[in-house]
Structures are given as C-alpha cells and as structure tokens.
Amino acid sequence: MEALEQTLRKVLQPLTHNLPPPIRNTATQLLGESCYRSIVHNINLRDIDCIKLAISKALGIVIVSTSAIVKVPQLLKLLNSQSAEGISFLSYFLETASYLITLAYNVRNEFPFSTYGEVALIAVQNIAISVLVLQYSGRGPAAAAFVAGIAGAGYAMYSDTICPMSTLQYLQAGAGLLGVASKLPQILTIFQQGGTGQLSAFAVFSYLFGSLSRIFTTLQEVPDKLILYGFIAACALNGVLAAQMLYYWNSPTSKNTSELKLEEKGKQAAIEATSTGVQTRNKTSPSTRRKG
C-alpha cells in the first residue's frame, strides 16, 4: 500500500496541489477540510473513513445527475405510444407522495443535498408521467385535481406553522411505507397483464442501482434510521421489478394487447377471405353464363 501511495503521490500531487480555486473549493465543501487534505492533497489511501465519504459523495453526485433523466425514457414511451398500458397510476401516485414527504423532511433537517437531490428531480418527472397516464386512460379532468393536490400538500409540508417538525417525522415514517406500497401496484399490474407494457427498462434498473447506492450513502452521511429503512425496503421491491423486467423481456406487450392483436388478425383474415370469395365468383360468373 505504501509503495502504491508513493507512486500516486509522484504522479498526482503536482496536479492536486495546483487545482483551480473553484474545483478546490467545491471539493473542500463536499469532503470537508480534513478529508480534502488527507485524500486529495496528501493522497492518503489508508484514511478509510475519508475514502468512504468520498465514495459516498461521488455516488450521490452520480445519482442526482442521473435522476435528471431517469424517467425521460418512460415519458418518451408514453408520448410515442399514446398509451398508458402496463403502468399503474396508483404506483406513481404513492411514490410521488412518498418523495414529496422525504424531500420536505430532508430540506427541513438540512441534510446534504447530495444525499437526497434526486428525490426532487424524480418527483417532478413522476408528476408529468402521472398526468400522462391519467390523460391516456381517459381521466383527463383528474389530472388537474392531482396536480393541485400535490401543490397544496407540498406547500403545507414546507410550512412549520401548518406541519410542525414533530408531525413531519411521523409523515416520514409513513413515507417509507408509501415508498414500499408504491411498488406493489406496479408489480401486480405486470403480473396480471403478463407483460411490462410501456414500462421503461432504463427507469427500472436505474431505480435498482439508485436504491442500492442510497443505502451506502445514507449509512455514511445521514444518521437517520427512518430514511435508511425506506431505502432498504425500496431496494428489495426494485429488485422484484427488475426480475419481472428480465422475465418478460421477450414479451413486451400485455395479454390484453396480444388478444387484441389476435382479434385484429382474425378480422383481417375474414375480410381477406371474403374479398377472395367475391373475386372468385366474379371470375367464374362469365363462363357460367356462356354455358347457360
């Protein structure tokens, strides 16, 4: 280990000792002065605690950055197909409610943004997807009521007068249950329909990676068991969704869609048979008249 450190110091220290002020200041804010000097300035690979913190911060940045686009493939699938098949509105509703509570809880506790930033970005995307699901399911008026309800709830939870911190703590305990419950309707929908429909594989596997990473970052940076237990439960159910996605990989359509396609093929075959019969009668009728 010491030989490796010596080699890395010779190579990296000319760079780490002369970092531009914006990069140096950002790294110091993320890691703290002590850990910055230990692992960046001094290249100390034996400082395990600071290395864990650096890994946690890096994972947090990756998760937050990825969350900005994690639901974009799902939005595009909905817009392109104009169909909400295979997607559970209840699942998105419960998940959005859970994220709204978690966001308020983290902000009001002043936890590091790198440990929860994706919650805000995903919540916005969830709202957009929920509106599309309602629209494509023939429940357009309910979409406006949904958005208004989310806005009102968000305002209430950020107000200490309306929602004291003691109440928000109870809500956060419930948010973990909501997060778990939000996955169950989607799992059930896939099972009932026998396919993943318009569900995005990118979103499913990104969620699985994100929940695994969040267990690590929470253990390192957030001394709050309520948040940790929520991520552990979410990771387990995200694993079930990922397994379903793999199982139905070659069956992207649902049973209902397959039945409709078979029915359409049957109708088309009947039309073609009828058309062929008419053409045959038209061809044979002149010869029949000559024989008569």
Work out the pLDDT band at 127, boundaries 50, 70, 90. very high
pLDDT of residue 253: 52
Q: What is the mean pLDDT of residues 169-191?
A: 84
pLDDT in tens, 54-91: 998 888 888 888 888 888 888 998 999 888 887 889 88
pLDDT averaged over every residue in the chain: 82
Assess whether pLDDT exceeds 80 at residue 176. Answer: no
pLDDT of residue 204: 86
pLDDT in tens, 15-31: 888 888 888 888 898 88
pLDDT of residue 263: 53
Q: What are the structural domain ranges in the chain? A: 2-46, 70-247
% of the chain beyond a pLDDT of 70: 85
pLDDT in tens, 228-281: 888 888 888 889 999 988 988 876 454 554 444 445 545 555 555 555 554 555
pLDDT of residue 260: 43
Assess whether pLDDT exceeds 50 at residue 218. Answer: yes
Render the chain in DSSP notation, one character per residue: -HHHHHHHHHHHHHHHTT--HHHHHHHHHHH-HHHIIIIIIS--TT-HHHHHHHHHHHHHHHHHHHHTTTTHHHHHHHHHHT--TT--HHHHHHHHHHHHHHHHHHHHHT--GGGTHHHHHHHHHHHHHHHHHHHHTT-HHHHHHHHHHHHHHHHHHT-TTTS-HHHHHHHHHHHHHHHHHHHHHHHHHHHHHTS-TT--HHHHHHHHHHHHHHHHHHHHH---HHHHHHHHHHHHHHHHHHHHHHHTTT--S-HHHHHHHHHHHHHHHHHHHHHHHHHHHHHHHHHHHHH-
Work out the pLDDT band at 203, boundaries 50, 70, 90. confident
